Amino acid sequence: MKTLYLIRHAKSSWEFDISDDERPLNTRGLNDAELIGEELKSLIKPIDKVLCSPAKRTRMTASIILKHLEIPETKFSIVPDLYDFSGNQVMDEIKKCDAAIDTLMVFGHNHGFTSIVNFLGNKRIDNLPTSGVVAIEFDVKEWQDISVGNTLLTLFPKSLR
């Protein structure tokens, strides 16, 4: 059995003249990431591995949420190919994961994450909002064998405010 948690980065700021990958979180993003982290504590299974896009807004989101979950840094990896908006590279990274990893958490971006949620989950969503979390469970032994699974959780900040 494999469980995948997909978490879209929190709301980012557009107020600075910087490259897209260097945009930080704005105040709402910081607050929403805290809300999600606090709520996830009682909802998730123990996490074996965390993968994160190198974008600043994604790293900031992961840092806030993982602090609440008390996941050690040894389980955390920055993966350059997760700075992907189509979802193709994200799927490649997920499918490359070692079979010893049963529970995987991935921090990344839309539109790719909404597409992946709708491709792999059995519940359709219109959009994975910023700070949104979806968990999908697969009855397989190898990540490379995942296909449509059971959507276990959809958690969006709007429902917590």
* Contact status, residue 114 vs residue 105, Cβ threshold 8 Å: no
User: What is the second-level CATH architecture of the domain 2-159?
Assistant: 3-Layer(aba) Sandwich (3.40)
Average pLDDT of the chain is 96
pLDDT digit string (tens) for 82-99? 999 999 999 999 999 999
Q: How many CB atoms lie within 10 A of CB 24?
A: 16
**Strands 103-108 and 76-78, how do they pair?**
unpaired
pTM to 2 decimal places: 0.97
pLDDT score recorded for residue 74: 94
Give 61-84 pLDDT, tens digit per residue. 999 999 999 999 899 999 999 999
Domain extents for the chain? Answer: 2-159
